[in-house]
A and B are shown apart, each in its own frame.
Chain A
Amino acid sequence: MTATDKNFLTTSSKSTKVIGSVALAAGALTLIFGLIVAPPHIEQGQSARLLFVHVPSVIATYLSYFITLVGSAIYLRKKSLFWDRVAGASAEVGSVFCAVLLFSGSVWGRPTWGTFWVWDPRLTSTAVMFVSYLGYLAIRRMDMEPAARRRRSAIVGILAFVNVIIVHFSVDWWRGLHQSRTFEPSDVQIEGWYLLSFFFGTVFFVSTQAWLLIHRFRLSHLESQANAAKLDQLIDLRQSGDLGSAQTREKVV
């Protein structure tokens, strides 16, 4: 394998290595401070430690879906493949974090509320948001002409962001079991070791989100290059008259 082939096949770079290292360090510090140093909460006991996973996963989800919104809007305006791939990659990463936030919220809810799930406005709207982005990802895999598919997914990428706004303000608009926002820049409700653990948790989730986003973006770029290369090969074979053999076709496809 030549050096060029190696470059073609990798999604790693100096920047991803740095971001990955930051994520690993922040993850380790979150574990140390969140599980060992921070004491159990006076009211919630050990389950309060889930705050260091749950709230940062919310931040990573919002950030990812916001990037999808921006990418979709820019794609519609400039028809740039770069921004379409950014939007798609970010929605995938965001959905992973959204699944983490739903799961961690359910695990926290069991000892606190006595149930894994309640039909609370915040929980329900988060589940709706998750499903709407799964719909966005499904539309990206729709079997149709690529430019049309990109345009339609960009429209859905913009429409789906309405759900993020609804989720964020749901605790203000409706009364439910879910507590009000944990972290408000103007009114920080946590302090001491909890604040530090929360900080490391946030750095871990946001850097992991950036790391995953870059890798997924590069992967989709490589996928399209590989598809184009396959197409070129098939055209060459057709021109040389060798496409009739099933073995040859199988080798290329």
Chain B
Amino acid sequence: MFSDVRAVVRKDFLIEKRVGILKGRVLPLGLAILLVFGFAIPPDLAILGSERLVLSQIGPGLFWVSNFFVIIYLLDRSFSLEAEDGCLQRLVTDGVDGVAFFFGKLVAVFLGVSAVQAVLAVAAIIMFDIPADRIGLLLIVGLVGSLALAATGTVFSALVVGAGSNQGLMALLLTPAVVPVLLGAVRLTEIATDMSNDLSSSGWILLLLALTALYTGVGIFTFDSLLED
């Protein structure tokens, strides 16, 4: 099974190397979204009595919302490639089982979103003036949040793969499912950037890990039958 997982990840990596979707489209999209937020919220707006500008205070939320849009695009691209020219059927006939395919896609999506997120995080810290002293915690939050987003997104993308124009449908399904993930990731980022009075980050990390485990479980149980479709 491990070799199948590696093969799926390698396949996605080679596609990325040849086509360059991440750096050519996904990353610019993420940066554009961050820029739009900067225009939507006046950069000099501050709440009375607060030392920080509004943009800086809500920066963690804006960062994760941009990640959400980025992952929708990334997942759509990743899974629509599988639906083209009978790629999925070929994987099945080559003996790749559903669980290996799920983990392969999960790892590929996780690596992709983490790479884009790293650049977006630097951009958000600079553009929104977000304090980033607790770099260690920020890294953990980024990795755990990306993993939870990738697990949720991989399951829901597989559900709509093969349907005609599925981008809108995937966003509709993914939005309510991803709400607890975004909530946990935003709260953790606020803690890591000293914007929250809540000092306990372990509960939120546990929530994200539990959601990752839940959707990984759903993926393990459903991907075999979804591949047969």
| Contacts from A to B (Cβ < 8 Å) | 128-129, 131-132, 134-135, 138-139, 142-145, 147-148, 151-152, 155-156, 159-160, 163
Report which of A129, A143, A148 forms a contact with B176, defined as CB distance below 8 A.
A129
B176 with A155: CB separation less than 8 A: no
In the complex, which residues 177-229 of chain B have their Cβ closer than 8 Å to any Cβ of chain A? 177, 179, 218, 222, 225-226, 229
Whether A134 pairs with B226 at a CB distance below 8 angstroms is no
A144's partner among B162, B176, B179 (CB-CB below 8 A) is B162
Closest-CB distance, B76 to chain A (whole angstroms): 15
Query: Given A132-B177, A159-B177, A159-B218, are A152 and B159 also a contact pair (CB < 8 Å)?
Result: yes
A78 CB to nearest B CB, Å: 15
Whole-angstrom CA separation of A160 from B225 in the bound complex? 19
A138: B residues at CB distance < 8 A: 169, 172-173
- A142 lies within 8 A of B179 (CB): no
Given contacts A142-B160, A143-B163, A143-B164, 7 further A-B contacts (CB under 8 A): A135-B173, A144-B162, A144-B164, A151-B225, A156-B159, A160-B176, A163-B176
In the complex, what residues of B have CB within 8 A of residue A156's CB?
Answer: 159, 173
Report Cα–Cα, A142/B160, bound state, in Å: 8
Residues of A close to B169: CB separation below 8 A: 135, 138-139, 142
- The interface residues of chain A lying within 8 Å CB-to-CB of B164 are 142-144
Cβ-closest 3 pairs across A and B: A148-B229, A132-B176, A135-B173
With A142-B160, A143-B163, A144-B163 known as contacts, the answer to whether A152 contacts B229 (CB < 8 A) is yes
Inter-chain residue pair count (beta carbon < 8 A):
53
Rounded to whole Å, the gap between the CB of A233 and the closest CB of chain B is: 26
* In the bound complex, CA of A129 to CA of B175 (Å): 11
- The answer on a CB contact under 8 Å between A131 and B175 is yes
The smallest beta-carbon distance between A243 and chain B, in angstroms, is 25
In the complex, A152→B166 CA distance in Å? 14
Give the dominant DSSP class at B's interface: helix
Chain B residues lying within 8 Å of A147, measured Cβ to Cβ, are: 229
Provide the residues of chain A in CB contact with B179, threshold 8 Å: 128
Contacts A129-B176, A156-B173 given; does A139 touch B229 at CB 8 Å: no
Of chain B, the residue at the smallest CB distance from A160 is B176
Q: Is the CB of A139 within 8 A of B159?
A: yes
- B175 CB to nearest chain A CB (Å): 6
Shortest Cβ distance from A127 into B: residue: B176
Cβ proximity bits B146-178 to A, threshold 8 Å, 1 near / 0 not: 000000000000011011101001001101110
**In the complex, are the beta carbons of A142 and B225 less than 8 A apart?**
no
Query: Whole-angstrom distance between the alpha carbons of A240 and B166 in the complex?
Result: 38
Tell which of B172, B177, B218, B229 touches A151, judged by Cβ atoms closer than 8 Å: B229
Residues of A within 8 A of B160 (CB): 139, 142, 152
Given A132-B177, A145-B229, A148-B229, residue A155 in contact with residue B159 (CB < 8 A) = yes
Contact assessment for B172 and A135 in the assembled complex, using a CB-CB cutoff below 8 Å: yes
- Determine if B176 and A128 form an interchain contact, defined as CB atoms under 8 angstroms apart: yes
Once bound together, how far apart are the Cα atoms of A119 and B41, in whole Å? 20
Instruction: Give the chain B neighbours of A131 by CB distance below 8 A.
Output: 172, 175-176
A142 touching B177 by the CB < 8 A rule?
Answer: no
A126 to chain B, nearest CB (A): 11
Residues in chain B near residue A142, CB distance under 8 A: 160, 163-164, 166, 169
Q: Which residue from chain A places its CB closest to the CB of B162 in the assembled complex? A: A144
Residues in B with CB closer than 8 Å to A159 are 177, 218
Given A131-B172, A138-B169, A155-B222, A148-B177 contact (CB < 8 Å): no
Q: Would you give the shortest CB distance from A123 to chain B, in whole angstroms?
A: 13
Nearest B residue (CB) for A76 = B225
Cα separation A151 to B80 with both chains bound (whole Å): 20
The distance in angstroms between the C-alpha atoms of A163 and B226, with both chains bound, is: 23
Q: Which residues of B contact A129 (CB under 8 A)?
A: 176
A143 neighbours in B (Cβ, 8 Å):
163-164
Most buried by A among B160, B164, B175, B218: B160
